[in-house]
Chain A
Amino acid sequence: MLRIALLMLFRDRAKYMMLIVGLTFCSLLMTQQASVFCGLMLWTSATVRNIGAKVWVFDAKVEQVNEVIPLREIEVTRVRGVPGVEWAVPLYVGIEQARLSDGSFQNVQLVGLDTATFVGRPMQITKGRIEDLRLPDAVIIDQVGIDKFRQKGITIDIGTTFEINDKTARVVALCHANRSFLGQPYVYTTYDRALQFAKPQRKMMSCVLAQPKPGVTSSELADRISKLPGLRAYERDDLFWNTIWWYIKNTGIPISFGTVVLMGVIVGIAIAGQTFYLFILDNLRYLAALKAMGARMPILAAMVFLQSFSVGFVGFGLGVGLTSIFGYKVLQIEQPPFFMPWQVPAFVAVIIILICCFSAAIGLRQIAKLEPAVVFK
C-alpha cells in the first residue's frame, strides 16, 4: 500500500508542489540563516584562527580575543618563567587608522608579530615574502584590504605606500587571512614597528603567545600560567569558544537569527501542516473506503507517514541544496558570512522531521476518528 500512498501524493500535483515549496522554503530559511549565523560567529574569532598560537595570555579581566586590555612587556618574561613553556612572544593587536594617498581613511586591524620568529604570521602569503617584513616601514596586507582599497580607487600591490597614524607603511607582501568580525583588513607588521604605528600608551602589548613544551598539554600550560597574578591564559580552542559564547551572550545576534529560524519553523508548520491536513481531508472518503475494504490503522498510518516524510525529505534536500549553492556563491565574495557545519543540516532535518510528524499526526487523528461505515452515507 506504500506505493499506492506515494502515487496518491505525487499525482495530486497542486498539493504536492505546495508541500514541497513550503518545506523547501522552511528548510532554506532555517539552513541559510543558521549558516550565516555560524559564519558570523566564525568572524568573531578570526584573530584566533589567523594567529593560531596554542596558548594565549591576557590580562585577567579579558574574556574574549577582541577585548584588549594592554599588558606590560615584563609579562612576557613572567610567562617564560612558568614551567612547561617552550617559548613565549609578545603580540600587538589593535584597530588603527590608515590614510590613503587620496586622503581617505580606512580602519585596519594592525597585528604586530614577534620580529625574530614571526609567530602568528599569515597562513597564506599570496605575493611577496614574509621575511621582507624586517625591511623598514614594511607591512603585509590581506585580500580584504586590497579589495577595500580598490573600492576607493587605489590599487594595492608590493611597493604601495600609505600611512598608519601619520607614519609611512610600505606593502612588502600580500596575504590571505580569515575575515574579521567588523570586516577591517588585517595589516601585519613586526611587533616593534606596530608599537611605533600605534598611538603611545603606558602599556602597549595586547597579549603573550606561548607554546607548551613537549609532554605538556596546552590546557595544562594555560592552567599554570593563569595562576600568575593578573594574567589569564586560554588554550586556543577555549579562546575560540569563549569568544563565540561572549558574542552569543552579550549581543542581540542570536535573537535576531533565532527569530528568523523560528519564522521558518512556523512557516513550515503552517504551510506543510495545513496543506497536508487538506490533502488528508480531500482523501478522507477514499481512506474510509480503504478502511472498509480491510486496511488496518497501522497500514493507513504508514501510508500517511510515508507521504509526509517523502515531501519532508524532498523539501529538506532542496532547501539544503539551495543553501549550499548560496554558500558556494557567497564564499567566493566572502560576504555575507557563511559556514555550514554538519550540525546545521542535522538540526534542520530534526525540525523538518518534527514538522512532518506533526502534519501526519493531525491527518491521522482524522483517519483514526473515521468510522468505515461512513462510506455508506
Chain B
Amino acid sequence: MNPHEASSAGSGSVAVAVRNVTKIFPNGDTPTYALRDVSFEARCGELTMIVGPSGCGKTTLLSVICGTLAIDSGSIDVFGRNLGSMSASEVTGFRSRNVGFIFQQFNLIPTLTVVENVSIPLILQSWNYRKAEEKAAAILEDVGLGARLRSFPKQLSGGQQQRVAISRALVHDPKLIICDEPTASLDAKTGHHALELLKRSACAPGRCVIVVTHDSRIFSFADWIAEMEDGRVVKSCPAAEYQHA
C-alpha cells in the first residue's frame, strides 16, 4: 500500500480513532494539559461535530487528528493508518492526499483567483496546472461560483469565500474533511447555507467530516456529537440524542 494512501472504508466504519491521547503544552513550570487521555471516534459517511466552550481543546484535538500537531501519548488511527508510526514527511504526504481543510478564516490566498486557490491541493499532488484548474472550475460550478472563477477572494462575500474554501477542501477527493469553526466568520443565514452545502457535498460514503464548532445553531447538521470540556471528551453520542446544556 502507498504509505500516503488511507485504506478505503465503507459507510459506518471507523474513520478516525483517537485513543487515550494526551497533549501538553509547556508553559513555564506549569504545563498546560490541552488534551487529557482523550478517546474519540468518527465514522465514515457521517458528519461528526466536536463541540464545547472556548479553550476546551477542540482545535487541539482537530490538529492532532490531521497530524499538524504531535501528541505526547496515546495513538491516532486515520483510515487504518497510525499517525504515530509515520515519519513527519509521511504524515505531510498523507495529509496532502487524504485530508481537506476548511479554516475558520478561510485562508484563501488573496493574490490568487478563486480557481487558482481551489486548484492548490491538486497542484500540491503534482497535477498539471491546466488540468487542476479544469477540475477546480468544475467543482466551483457545482457550488454555484462558476461565474466567479477569475475573481479574487476579496471581491467575494463571506458566504462565497466559504464556498470557495469548501471547494478547495473537496477538490482532491480527500477521505477526511477537517472543518474549524465554519460559521465563526459568517452571519446566521450564511452559516446555515454553508453547513447545508458542506453536508450535501462533503458527506459521502467512505468520507468522514469532522467539524469543530461552538455554534449550537448548526448542531442539527451533525450525525454525531462529541462534547469536550477542560481537555476531555465528556460526552459522545448520536446528534439526535445530544442535549446541549
Contacts and interface: CB of A to CB of B under 8 A. Distances in A.
**A and B are partners in one complex rather than unrelated chains:** yes
Interface of A: 1, 3-4, 7-8, 11-12, 283, 285-286, 288-290, 292-296, 299, 371-373, 375-377
Nearest to A294: B96
6 contacts: A3-B129, A7-B116, A293-B99, A294-B124, A373-B69, A376-B63
Contacts of B163: none
A375 B112 contact: no
Contacts of A11: 111-112
B128 to A, nearest CB: 11
Contacts of A285: 105, 107
Contacts of A293: 95-96, 99, 101, 120-121, 124
B124 A1 contact: yes
Nearest to A3: B129
Contacts, number: 75
A294 B97 contact: yes
B202 to A, nearest CB: 16
A376 B110 CA distance: 18
Nearest to A1: B123
B103 A376 contact: yes
Given A293-B95, A293-B101, A293-B120, A286 B107 contact: yes
A352 to B, nearest CB: 24
Given A3-B129, A371-B68, A295 B105 contact: no
B116 A373 contact: no
A375 B111 contact: no
Contact of B93 (A288, A292, A294): A294
Most buried by A among B66, B68, B99, B116: B68
B59 interface: yes
B30 interface: no
A286 B117 CA distance: 11
A318 to B, nearest CB: 23
A292 B97 contact: no
B68 A372 contact: yes
B49 to A, nearest CB: 16
Interface of B: 59, 62-63, 66, 68-69, 89, 92-93, 95-97, 99, 101, 103-105, 107, 109-112, 116, 120-121, 123-125, 129, 180
Contacts of B112: 4, 7-8, 11
A18 B6 CA distance: 46
**Would you list the 6 A-B pairs with minimal beta carbon distance, nearest first?**
A294-B96, A11-B111, A289-B107, A372-B68, A373-B63, A373-B68
A290 B97 CA distance: 13
Contacts of B99: 293-294
Contacts of A290: 120, 124
A217 B181 CA distance: 85
Contacts of A3: 129
B95 A292 contact: yes
A12 B59 contact: no
A296 B111 contact: no
Given A4-B109, A285-B107, A294-B124, 13 more contacts: A4-B112, A7-B112, A8-B109, A289-B103, A290-B124, A292-B68, A294-B95, A294-B99, A295-B96, A375-B101, A375-B107, A376-B103, A377-B59
A376 B121 contact: no
B118 to A, nearest CB: 12
Contacts of A296: 89, 92-93
Nearest to B180: A376
Contacts of A373: 63, 68-69
Most buried by A among B69, B92, B123: B92
Contact of A4 (B92, B110, B123): B123
B68 A7 contact: no
Contacts of A7: 111-112, 116
A4 B116 contact: yes
Contacts of A1: 123-124
A285 B107 CA distance: 7
Contacts of A286: 107, 109-110
Most buried by A among B59, B112, B124: B124
Contacts of A372: 68
B104 A294 contact: no
Nearest to A285: B107
Nearest to B105: A285
B25 to A, nearest CB: 11
A299 B69 CA distance: 20
A11 to B, nearest CB: 4
A306 to B, nearest CB: 14
Nearest to B168: A293
A1 B120 CA distance: 8
